[in-house]
Amino acid sequence: MDGTRHVLVVDDEDDFVDMMRVLLELERFQVSSSSSAPSAVRRVCDGLAPDIVLLDFRMPVLDGGDALRRMRSCGLSSPAILVSGTRDIRDQAVLHGFDAWVQKPFDFGTLLGAIDHCLGSA
């Protein structure tokens, strides 16, 4: 792909996923999404290889931290950003090995800054 970065957005709130898709595509990202953590884990384990993953924390069945751990065990080496409204977001991000975190609600520029930081100049 011609420099386009691939983002996987995982959140159980469909409206949030739809909004992220529109905003990220306007910034020229390719966007894949999943409305459940188990589905996202399955897709990554089946070979989906995003450049970066945006994960909510509090989701039914499997939280974002466990989802990231399972994705890593399937070989995901891409950076992951915890995007959540949980009050202890920094602690959860550090505990579960996220590369960055963005507290909901957020300014889209803040999220883009975290994505740029995680992707670096690669």
27-70 pLDDT, tens per residue?
999 999 999 999 999 999 999 999 999 999 988 888 999 999 99
Does residue 121 carry a pLDDT above 50? Answer: no
d(CA 109, CA 59): 24
Q: What is the pLDDT of residue 3?
A: 65
Superfamily for domain range 6-115: Response regulator (3.40.50.2300)
Name the band, by pLDDT with cuts 50, 70 and 90, for residue 120.
confident
Q: What is the pTM of this model?
A: 0.92
Crossing angle of helices 64-73/37-45, nearest 10°? 10
